[in-house]
Amino acid sequence: MNPRKSLLVMDDEPSICKILEHFLKKDFNVFVKSDGAEGMLWLEEGNEVDLIIADLQMPNLNGKEFLKTARASNLYADIPVIILSGSDESSERIQCLNLGADDFMVKPFNPVEVHAKINAILRRSKRYS
């Protein structure tokens, strides 16, 4: 049996965090932070995660800024990131994918689909191959 994978969820909307935590905690250790800066600080404290779900529009450090910071770091460059966004702008999606996001989902989303995408990304992640 694989040890449980850990997820970091960063979103400034408590309802989104609650939905994700509720749906994902059965299979994953879920850590919730209210913005990118808080998430980054938590990672810098030495906490390890297998995948990050980040909202595009957050205070302090938004999804794009977080991606740039994480991808530039030796420690976090290979952690898969799924970006959540209230916007279905193709340009936003392309920008996030070009910055290193592994997937992009538009809110409102189906939590079951989020779960399936997490599993798919983890299966093909560099860290576990």
* pLDDT one-digit tens code per residue, 116-128: 999 999 998 855 5
How confident is the model at residue 2, as a pLDDT?
60
Q: How confident is the model at residue 89 (pLDDT cuts 50, 70, 90)?
A: confident
pLDDT at residue 86 above 50?
A: yes
Tell me how far apart the alpha carbons of residues 103 and 87 are, in angstroms, rounded to a whole number. Answer: 14
What radius of gyration do the chain's Cα atoms show?
13
Two tokens, residue 111: 């939590």
Give the span between the Cα atoms of 97 and 103, in whole angstroms.
Answer: 7
User: For residue 127, what pLDDT is reported?
Assistant: 53
Backbone angles phi, psi at 26, to 5 degrees: -65, -35
Distance CA 37, CA 34 (A): 9
Looking at residues 110-119, what average pLDDT do you find? Answer: 96
pLDDT, tens only, 39-72:
999 999 999 999 999 999 999 999 999 999 999 9
Q: Are 101 and 85 in contact (CB under 8 A)?
A: no
Determine the Cα–Cα distance for residues 37 and 59; give it in Å rounded to an integer.
8
Proportion of the chain above pLDDT 90, given as a percent = 91
pTM of the model: 0.94
Domains annotated for the chain, with CATH where assigned, are 5-128 (3.40.50.2300)
Both structure tokens of 39: 């998430």
